[in-house]
Structure 1
């Protein structure tokens, strides 16, 4: 059977080809103007899936960076507080060594040293209550308020009264609380980093708290400084007969024992400072990885979404040439009036 080719069928076929050329040109012009190969999912379904996955990874990567920055802010506050605490405790140690030279001490010099020690106590107490955005950096997930406050002298622990302890009102350290709750930030897909510190371990505690076992519990640096202050302030012939370990000792030996305790407290603060530094390094490394991943993911996304502008411009030029050639050829074959109308 022979297919009949009419003038009308030739016109319809020619118009269809011309319309196809126009659509191809429109797509290329859209890519040139937007710079994107994918403007809607139907443009490239497979590329759209890859684009969505890459964008999701970029959002997660950005969130890890934000979390890391916030964690560094928490740790920076702790680093500053612990470095200042170390400086203050070393100054207190110098005063204790000075007080041990009892041969040149008078009631006036002992009073002056005790006053200076009291100032150091208040400074360290304030540093232990350091906050970031209204939350204590040494009290886990506790709300606003001081993390550590003086309690009544009747509350005693490893040290002697008057004792200073972390207040039961502090959520994370309360004896009836939920334990050593942590503030953590996720810095990559697999791991989180703790950004607060357990103040009861670093500064010590005179009462039982969750997160610190009785075996690990140490006299708080606050009650220790109070004890040293009171010991120095009393005249050398005064003071309790039994002060350390149930053995009669003189003031020099009592101060020597308190000095050893102070050295231990300084060591615990330094351990806390080293731990903070290790976590800072961990977050900074995670941020470096996130930064490298960001560039790699952005490059992959660009390959999926962005057009090769020079190549698209060449294709557009070729498409325009083909369209003009088709118009010229059709004008010679088809009815002139029709081609004039198409132009």
Structure 2
């Protein structure tokens, strides 16, 4: 049985492989330390790379939801402001109608003054009903029409029953506009027509006591729609809070997968540098060339 001899060339090849491996490990640790990233290429950790890609995809979706929520709050705040302004106008209209219904103390001049002010309120209400956000009417549904109501006929020119929605999570959308037809009515049954009728009756000297019911009903429609919008705003604000929490958790997950532990990497780097330098020194001493190296 013969025993093979380990030649100098074999020793040199083994030493070279060891040094190359050490150099590769050292280079990897140096790059991790300089970039702060644990995953430098997919082959470093295939399962970790897959997890990182999933987390990043979820993060992008969460970022888009955050944009949607911000836009939705812009719409909803605009609707809320318009309805608040409309309610203030309607309270004044109710006060004026109540005052005008007291026919015993009304003169033609006072009737005319109230009628004129009611017409001004009607115009202001029309302006509120045609409020826009980013160039789109907030009470016209998903229609791109510039105005929800036609000033001449009070007809609703939006899309009945359609809503503008924003996706706030992977499973939920929230309507962000206002239902103009439900809030202000349309045509001859609109709040604008009701105010016109009261003004006309005042000028004609007709008792308007019965019109109080109509204008109070119109006010109720406004407040009901305002309540719906308020509930949607509350949901958007909750979604915004949840979205922020989700974004923070996803970033923590991503960092845990992709980013290094600086203290650990520095310790590993120093250890690898020492190991590499030691390997170079030992190899240089062990593989001193001799006459035997040339004749083996």
What are structure 2's unaligned runs of at least 5 residues? 291-296
Distance 1:198 1:328 in 2: 82
Secondary structure (helix, strand or coil) at the match of 1:147 reads coil
Contact 1:88–1:124 at 8 Å: present in 2 too?
Answer: yes
Q: How far is the alpha carbon of 1:17 from its aligned partner?
A: 0.6
Residue 174 of structure 2 is aligned to residue 199 of structure 1: no
Q: How far is the alpha carbon of 1:2 from its aligned partner?
A: 2.3
Q: CA RMSD in A?
A: 1.4
The equivalent residue for 1:37 is 38
**Which structure exhibits the higher relative contact order, with contacts defined as CA atoms closer than 8 Å and separated by 6 or more residues?**
2
Distance 1:336 1:102 in 2: 125
> TM (normalized to structure 1)?
0.81
The equivalent residue for 2:293 is none
- Aligned partner (choices 165, 168, 173) of residue 184 of structure 1: 165
Higher relative helix content: 2
Residue 159 of structure 2 is aligned to residue 172 of structure 1: yes
Q: How far is the alpha carbon of 1:336 from its aligned partner?
A: 5.7
Cα deviation digits, residues 40-81 of structure 1 (max 9, x gap): 111211111111100011111111111011111111111010
Secondary structure (helix, strand or coil) at the match of 1:165 reads coil
Residue 224 of structure 2 is aligned to residue 271 of structure 1: yes
Cα deviation digits, residues 315-339 of structure 1 (max 9, x gap): 11111111122122222211269xx
Distance 2:32 2:22 in 1: 15
The equivalent residue for 1:53 is 54
Distance 1:105 1:74 in 2: 43
Contact 2:184–2:191 at 8 Å: present in 1 too?
Answer: yes
Q: How far is the alpha carbon of 1:201 from its aligned partner?
A: 1.0
The equivalent residue for 1:341 is none
Distance 1:171 1:259 in 2: 28
Distance 1:149 1:195 in 2: 22
Distance 2:262 2:289 in 1: 38
Contact 2:83–2:226 at 8 Å: present in 1 too?
Answer: yes
Distance 1:233 1:92 in 2: 16
- Equivalence map 1:90-101=2 (5 Å): 90-101=91-102
What are structure 1's unaligned runs of at least 5 residues? 153-163, 174-179, 208-218, 237-250, 338-343
- The number of aligned residues is 289
Residue 208 of structure 2 is aligned to residue 262 of structure 1: no
Distance 2:95 2:234 in 1: 32
The equivalent residue for 2:286 is 333
Range with greater deviation from structure 2 (192-201 or 221-230):
192-201
The equivalent residue for 2:76 is 75
